[in-house]
């Protein structure tokens, strides 16, 4: 439940097209879950680039492989 809440909170800023993440958001994110929820909410896989850009400010590189796998699973589940 906590992982879902964190992923939801990470994706919430994307609804208006602006990605604002804290250092903690970047460090402790479940990137698979974030990708899954991104796809389930109809967001494009390029959202990974927004997270990468936002997290670069803190010297954190998101796990793009986990995000992509989650996005694929989320896109399949939402069909």
Structural domain range at position 36: 29-79
Q: How confident is the model at residue 15 (pLDDT cuts 50, 70, 90)?
A: very low
* Position 35 in a domain: yes
What is the model's pTM?
0.73
* Position 34 in a domain: yes
The number of domains in the chain is 1
Q: Say which residue, 73 or 17, is predicted with more confidence.
A: 73
Cα separation of 57 and 3, whole Å? 23
* Position 7 in a domain: no
* Position 4 in a domain: no
Cα separation of 58 and 56, whole Å? 5
Cα separation of 50 and 4, whole Å? 20
Residue 61: how many CB atoms within 10 A of its CB? 11
* Position 78 in a domain: yes
Q: What is the pLDDT of residue 67?
A: 96
DSSP structure class, residue 64:
H
Q: Is the pLDDT of residue 16 over 60?
A: no
* Position 50 in a domain: yes
Secondary structure class of 70 (helix, strand, coil):
helix
* Position 46 in a domain: yes
* Position 22 in a domain: no
pLDDT tens sequence across 42-62: 999 999 999 999 999 999 999
């Amino acid at each position: 439940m906590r992982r879902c809440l964190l992923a939801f909170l990470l994706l919430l800023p994307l609804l208006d097209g602006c990605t604002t993440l804290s250092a903690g958001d970047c460090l402790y994110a479940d990137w698979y879950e974030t990708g899954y929820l991104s796809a389930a909410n109809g967001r494009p896989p390029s959202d990974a680039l927004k997270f990468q850009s936002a997290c670069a400010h803190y010297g954190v590189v998101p796990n793009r492989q986990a995000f992509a796998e989650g996005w694929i699973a989320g896109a399949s589940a939402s069909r």
